[in-house]
Structure 1
Amino acid sequence: MATRPKGKPIMPLAELTGKTTPNGFQWGATLFDFFFVYRIPCVNAITTMTGSKLLKVMESIGESGYAKAKAEVEWAAAEQDPKVVPVANTQELIEAYDLRVKLGIFNSYSMIDSIRESALKITEYQVHNEHPAEESSDKDGERDEDMEKEDEDEEKHRVKEDATEGPAPHAEEDGADDVSDSMDVDSQRSVIREPSMHEDEETLEEEPIMPIPPPPEIPVTSPFHPSHYPSPWPFIPFTVPRVPMLLQERIPLHLLPRTLYVHDPFNLLSVRRWKIVDTSWLSRPDIVRTYTLSFSPAMQEKVDKATKDAEEMEEFKARTLIILRYTRTRQQIENYEPIIEVPLPPYQRRLTKVEEGHLYISPVAKVGEGNHSVVYKTEWELPRDLLTEPHFCKTCMKESMKEEMKKLRESGRWDRMMRAACWGPKGLTQHPTAQTVIDAMEDVNDPPILEKDGEIIEREITCVVAPDTHPIEILRAFEKGKVWELFKKKRNQNSPANAANQMIISFAEEEEVPLPKGSTSSSPLSAAPRVRINPKLAYQNPYNNLCSHRTVTNVCPVPRTTRFTVAAKLSIEHDKHLAREAENYQNFPEHFFQHWSGYNLVPPIRNPVPVHALVPQFFGYYTPVLEHENQEKVKDEEKGDEDEEDTDEEEEASVQKPYLSPILLLEHCGNPIDPDTVSDDEQEECRSLLLRFHAAGWLHESVAARNILVQKCPPTEFPATWLTTEAERSPSFRLIDFGRSRKYTKSEERMMEETAALKLFRVDYGACL
């Protein structure tokens, strides 16, 4: 029997934590970074520990050179740091959807009557002319008849719904995904049209005739103006199968729409059980309610500061000229070619605030209903610029550079530039001229750029890049590496003006090429002058014009907006849970919303668990704005009370404004779990959510299976991955429903919730020890 080493015990010292995520738990990059350890020699007690922590322990006690653990020590030393994993690229998903629109497969759902009717005629022609029966075998004929019957049934259903059927399941979801307690979408519609299945006919109220407020005035400058929707956009809400896509990307709070126009033709915002017979969107006139974004006072101050900081940063970026200095290839160096510099177009200012968004709500997309609230899957329309970035065609840039250099050579200016730099076919021809002197020669180089496309240039950032570098990659690297913040901080420090307004960043280096044998040149091949050329370059947006290189794979034009699927939670009248839940979302730490790489050790769970987001993304809490008509009615009512004290109660009720629920917008995160069907690994991940919630100082106060949602795949995976087999899927889980949640002070309260979670999954407490 092997003997255990009799070393020093591993004490739980705070300074020897190893790598952790912001939630404070131990972290490992892979499952191979976790080890079973005897903390105390000769004591039969095993502890799970991360490799990074073990490495620190071994270094502290002088055992890092232990020969038998050499491979493990090297592995731990090379382990990556924890990092935030972004969700599936939203811009790529938008462009994929645009491409499907370009193919015309959604034309039958267009709001434009002529396009919709034409598409429906084409569909009918294809259905009746595909696979003639006389050309098929008997077996194939039977199959085709079944298919035709299915198509006819589907067509009848479409006619019944007035060509506006409810949303088909998303590509990421099964048909059972859209409602609570395992109801599918079709049965959901049946519940609405035939309430006797789940509730008595008497419990449904006859929908009253409500005044329709005037539609909001949308200025032409708004991306939501009708003139910005090219054909076949816009589409009828809740009709296009498997779209719009889920919005899973985190939106900074200062970029949430300040005003929300809610399209509610079915009066669902009143949160009453209306008797609705026809749920097709076009069966009713559109009713648009105006809502405003609401924050707690403390969060409003943070949002205002974030908006101000964003405006200052965008102004700083727009007044900074980015210059690409291309490194030369070995052949270019050997041919004594100069170094080329190209200034990029002015930085495209990003949004610092969003004035408006539009929300569409329908009874066909009801998700679930509780004692205090009701949840719908809704379509949220946002400015496209909020979640996309401008395009930059690399091919256009290369062609423009070649054209500019050709013009310089034909005009003779190229030769003058080379002579001014004392540079010839074999390198330096005489003592080199200083680069600053060359740049000041108006006959050689263009004068310094003080203004470019309307932007006043105050500073420059020169980026040394490889010849095949895409400009967009540089801009992304700036954001990821916080280059803008560092440059701005440097400029604010006490440094010389020239140094503060210039920065050089190297993304690549030139190859060192020795002088060829027998060369008489005294200058190294790398000592070449810099020549700045100014080709015509421009960023591109798909809602304007794209170049011919991009129109092959991208759609142009497209609307200046795009739609997403989000969950909208409404509350009954006089209920305060929704407002408390919205405030809790604003107080949650940032890591609650982040997906992290690797795994956490979350005691008392002994196995590593993934570190997905803990809660859904928060997209704002919106409260209704009192319409002008209601304001006038309230004033008239107050005046009438002064003049006539015996006003009839029915008249007072008739002028009373209808109740409109506030709206909590959240990420749609799937369906409630079934504790009886989850695997051991999945139930440990579900329990880890509550333990992470507790570790941050929060008490949930409503631990139940309905408040833990599951998605087939993590949001960090693209929807195509969600179509894999069940065995290959890796589901993700979230906690929801925080209307009762609060900070706790007594550990007993936390222990009671953790015990409730164990009972939920039928796990004995002893199994966790």
Structure 2
Amino acid sequence: MSRLDDTSNHNEVLKERALDIPHLSDYRLQLPPHEDPFIKRLSKYYATGSVSELDDEKEEDSSKEIAASKRPKTRFIFRQWPRNPAGYVIDNIPDGKMALNISNKLWGASLYDFYRVRRIPDCPNLSTISTGSKLAAWAKANNELEWAKDEIKCSELETNPRETKPMSITTLIEASEIFARAGLWGKSVRLNNENTWMDEYRELYSKGQFLCDPDHFPAPWPLKPFSMPLYRLQRRIPFELLPEKLVVHDPWNLLEVTEYEPYYESREGVTYPRKKKAKWGQMSDVVVNYKLQLSADAKKEREKREQKRQNVNGPGSLAIYKRDMSSSPEWQKKFGEEDTISVPLPPRPDPEPAKVAHLYIVPSRRIGRGNHSVVYQAEWEVPRSMLVDPKMCTTCGSETLVGPDDLMDCDGGDQARGSTPWKQSDEDGVNPWNLPETRWITRADGSVNKFSGMPRLGSANLQWQDKTNVPYCKHMDNGPTPPSAKVSVAVKLSVPDDNHLAREARIYQSLPPHLFEHWNGFNIVPPLTDPVPLGAVLPQFYGYYVPEEEKNEHLSPIMLLEHCGIGIDPNELNIDDKQECYSLLRRLHFEQITHNSAFHRNIVMQNGPLQEPPNRRTKDNPQFRLLDLSRVTLNSKEWDRDIIQEEFQTWNDLGLPGLGFG
């Protein structure tokens, strides 16, 4: 499946719109763009017409470049907005739909929502780029409806911009727990040859350095570190929820970040070099305590959000139970002729801030090294409730549902009769769940389900439940779970006598949240004239930690980041991929930020799309991210020399054809 289809669901978009637009149902628009004969011809031109301009002097790389160019380019503008030949000159176009993670205003839900338009109708050589939502607004304001009625109808059916979060880590953690319970994943430390680890965990717990009593873990937990595959944490964690204390398990003394690779003696008396395939258990564990260090602004934000979290009260959302969910006569007996009963939900509880977390690092998981730092893929163990969302059992609600008359007997008041609409929640809630027997109403944000009319108010035993607290609902209980959860993160360490890591951590804490968000659709990012996706620009930031105690030897500070994949090779990317990488830098520049080290070595890629389960992510849908903010300059001006120079430098470094600034 192509990146185009998988990212934007173009087939579904076209089917939905063609039902209401007869003139758009021809053979071409029934095909996905990569199968459209006209677009395939354009793709071939884009793929082959620019190869010779990429790097004529590097003959040794030409074969890779040509091979990469055979991957067709699929992202470009292929639609023309029809104009009245005697119409007005388009001067200022009203704002259309815009994604909130970019300041540029040219957003479209799919490639079919971008147009070339003649601002001067009788001037065929003057064409500019715009979007359907903007042009439709202009056409309605200037009475040019008949000429573009199909395009206007298409824009009205366009979906709204929305944040598209990676697949829920809750689902992934629960899946890994099922595999562990079945004995398919992981190695228990309760085994005879692993009992020493249980003793160490008990000792840590006695010192207040373990999440909970290890003897309270249900079998087969605790599991030996690095004995099972872990899912990457890709959720944004607010500052107020970051663990205050980090217990680092470092048997190989990697925190010293030495330039040499000495040999160490294992428990069995055998020596192992750091760079070889070191396995957990070869060395005696070394535990170092770290503490969270936030910038002054981040501390204020943490305190502000913590106070807001504690003050949340009042009603939450509504659960809507409908008659057709049950064929039993109980509905008629309880509710008579009522078709719908609404049940107020309690506010969804926020996770409690984590006090202690554990970090496990091993030399064989090193994924990068630079002049000032080294990066490892590590296991991060945090309280399960920090990552696993609470649930609500609708079956329990169905069994305990009572109607308005019963509610009058206990509560009374007009609200029970449905005369006063239930106040919608003002909290930042998630999108409503698509449960078969329930409709959820949340604060309107453009993506929620709408319910017409106010149903009668009922009552049911609906409570948010977390497996770390008992009792737990029997309908959702699928077995014991540990009180902690492990995820995969990237750990960045610093060489001795270097302040780059501390500065980079401060930069991460000062950036606007939208640089870490994924949004649907595409945007035009000048000077590019082709649409590019709107994924996150930077990896998620999970805290900056420093040693609790100062020692004579160097112990590196620790910065935890999202693990976003491996470094790119421009020779293996097609034009679409290179343009997307370049757009990451431009989006930083939109925020008046100069990267100062925007080389391709600081761009990483991973399989995508991230909204899919890991086994369905492919290399045909790469996701890119920009790294290394240690040299960043804030508050840069748009026409600063450094910004302009950086744009040209990155353009050439990625091997993009032409200058792109014409």
Decide whether the 8 Å contact of 2:84 with 2:147 is kept in 1.
Answer: no
Does the 8 Å contact 1:324/1:462 carry over to 2?
A: no
Q: Is 1:38 the equivalent of 2:141?
A: no
* 1:741 matched residue in structure 2: 632
Q: Identify if the C-alpha distance between structure 1 residues 236 and 448 changes in structure 2 by more than 3 Å, giving closer, same or farther.
A: farther
Classify the secondary structure of the residue corresponding to 1:351: coil
Q: 1:448 to 1:230 in 2, by over 3 A?
A: farther
TM-score, reference length from structure 2 = 0.73
Give the C-alpha shift of residue 328 in structure 1: 4.5
Q: 1:462 to 1:18 in 2, by over 3 A?
A: closer
Q: 1:346 to 1:753 in 2, by over 3 A?
A: closer
Using the alignment, how far apart are the partners of 1:621 and 1:357 within structure 2? 13
- Is contact 2:114–2:130 with CA below 8 Å preserved after alignment? yes
Residue of structure 2 in register with 1:689 after alignment: 584
Distance 1:764 1:535, change over 3 A: closer
1:96 is aligned to 2:83: no
SS at match of 1:245: coil
SS of the residue corresponding to residue 585 of structure 1 reads helix
Cα gap change, 1:550/1:305 in structure 2, threshold over 3 Å: closer, same or farther? closer
In the TM superposition, residue 285 of structure 1 has moved relative to its aligned partner by 2.4
Structure 1 residues 174-222: Cα deviation after superposition (integer angstroms, max 9, x where no partner):
xxxxxxxxxxxxxxxxxxxxxxxxxxxxxxxxxxxxxxxx8474559x7
Matches of 1:717 and 1:536, distance apart in 2: 30
For 1:286-307, what per-residue CA distance to the aligned partner results, in whole angstroms no more than 9, with x for missing partners? 2221111111112211211111
Aligned twin of 1:237? 225
CA distance in 1, matches of 2:459, 2:497: 67
In structure 2, relative to structure 1, the CA distance for the partners of 1:70 and 1:325 (3 Å cut) is: closer
Distance 1:115 1:62, change over 3 A: farther
1:7 aligns to 2:83 (yes or no): no
What corresponds to 2:299 in structure 1? 300
Q: For residue 379 of structure 2, what is the aligned residue in structure 1?
A: 379
**SS of 1:676's equivalent?**
helix
Q: Residue 28 of structure 1: CA displacement? A: 0.3
1:335 is displaced (CA, Å) by 9.8
1:381 and 1:679 map into 2 onto residues whose CA distance is 38
Letter in 1 for 2:251: P
What is the deviation of 1:45? 3.1
Contact 2:391/2:464, CA 8 A, preserved across alignment: no
Write out per-residue CA displacement over residues 331-366 of structure 1, whole angstroms, 9 at most, x where no aligned residue. Answer: 866997276979779656432422121111111111
Q: Give structure 2 stretches of 5+ with no counterpart.
A: 1-81, 198-202, 264-270, 273-277, 414-419, 425-433
Quick one: distance in 1 between partners of 2:657 and 2:252? 48
CA distance in structure 2 between the aligned counterparts of 1:3 and 1:347, rounded to whole angstroms: 51
Q: Which residue of 1 aligns with 2:616?
A: 721
Where 2:236 maps in the other structure, the secondary structure is coil
CA contact (8 A) 1:93 1:245 kept: yes
After superposition, the Cα gap between the structure-2 partners of 1:3 and 1:51, relative to the gap in structure 1 and judged at 3 Å, is closer
Greater helix share, structure number: 1
Letter of the structure 2 residue corresponding to residue 600 of structure 1: N
Give the 5 Å matches for 1:691-706.
691-706=586-601
Return the letter of the residue paired with 2:576: D
Q: Residue 254 of structure 2 corresponds to which residue in structure 1? A: 268
2:236 aligns to what? 250
State the 1:597 CA deviation: 0.6
Asked if structure 2 preserves the Cα contact closer than 8 Å seen for 1:543 and 1:557, the reply is no
Say whether 1:21 aligns with 2:99. Answer: yes
Letter paired with 1:560: P
> Which of residues 84, 93, 113 is equivalent to 2:163?
84
- Are 1:358 and 1:382, in contact at CA under 8 Å, matched by a contact in 2? yes
- 658 and 302 in structure 1: CA distance in 2 versus 1, 3 angstrom threshold: same
Please say if residues 38 and 45 of structure 1, whose CA atoms lie closer than 8 Å, have aligned partners that are also in contact: yes
Deviation at 1:261?
1.1
Once the two structures are TM-superposed, the CA of residue 37 in structure 1 deviates from its matched residue by: 1.8
CA contact (8 A) 1:28 1:34 kept: yes
1:606 deviates by 0.8
Offset at residue 623 of structure 1 (A): 1.2
Distance in 1 separating the partners of 2:83 and 2:96: 28
Query: Given the alignment of the two structures, is residue 657 of structure 1 paired with residue 552 of structure 2, yes or no?
Result: yes
Aligned match for 1:759, one of 648, 652, 655: 652
Structure 1-normalised TM-score? 0.63
* CA distance in 1: counterparts of 2:578 and 2:439, whole angstroms: 41
Distance 1:297-1:380 versus aligned 2 partners, 3 A rule: same
| Equivalent residue number for residue 578 of structure 1 | 501
**Contact 2:598 2:650 (8 Å CA) reproduced:** yes
Task: State the AA in 1 paired with 2:219.
Answer: S
Structure 1: distance between partners of 2:625 and 2:653 = 16
CA distance in 2: counterparts of 1:335 and 1:73, whole angstroms: 48
Q: Give the SS at the match of 1:742.
A: coil
Rg larger in structure: 1
**Separation in 2, partners of 1:16, 1:506:** 27
Q: Does 1:59 align with 2:140?
A: yes
1:266 Cα shift? 1.2
1:709 aligns with 2:599: no
Task: Provide closer, same or farther for how the CA distance between residues 4 and 364 of structure 1 changes in structure 2, counting only shifts above 3 A.
Answer: same
1:561-710 map, 5 Å: 561-626=484-549, 657-710=552-605
Aligned partner of 2:286 in structure 1 is 287
Deviation digits for residues 89-125 of structure 1 (CA, Å, limit 9, x no counterpart): 1111111111111211135x221224979xxxxxxxx
Which structure 2 residues correspond to residues 109-128 of structure 1 after superposition, within 5 A?
109-114=187-192
Query: Counterparts of 2:289 and 2:533 in 1: how far apart (Å)?
Result: 41
Question: Retained in 1: the 8 A contact 2:393–2:462?
Answer: no
In structure 2, how many angstroms separate the alpha carbons of the residues matched to 1:740 and 1:53?
38
2:621 alignment partner, SS class: coil
1:753 & 1:46 partners in 2: Cα distance? 29
Are the aligned partners of 1:342 and 1:535 in contact in 2 as well (CA < 8 Å)?
A: no
Within 1, Cα distance between the matches of 2:463 and 2:568?
A: 52
Long gaps (5+) in structure 1: 118-161, 164-213, 406-416, 422-434, 440-444, 450-458, 483-504, 512-529, 631-655
**Matches of 1:302 and 1:335, distance apart in 2:** 49
Q: Which amino acid counterpart does residue 78 of structure 1 have in structure 2?
A: L
8 Å contact 1:321–1:343 — kept in the other structure?
no
Instruction: Kindly indicate whether the alpha-carbon contact (under 8 Å) linking 1:755 and 1:765 is maintained by their aligned counterparts in 2.
Output: no
Q: In the TM superposition, what are the counterparts of 1:352-501 in structure 2 within 5 Å?
A: 352-400=352-400, 439=408, 445-446=409-410, 474=440, 477-478=441-442
Q: 1:5 to 1:252 in 2, by over 3 A?
A: same
Q: How many residues align?
A: 537
Do the aligned partners of 2:564 and 2:606 also contact (CA within 8 Å) in 1?
yes
Tell whether the 8 Å contact from 1:20 to 1:82 is kept in structure 2 after alignment: yes
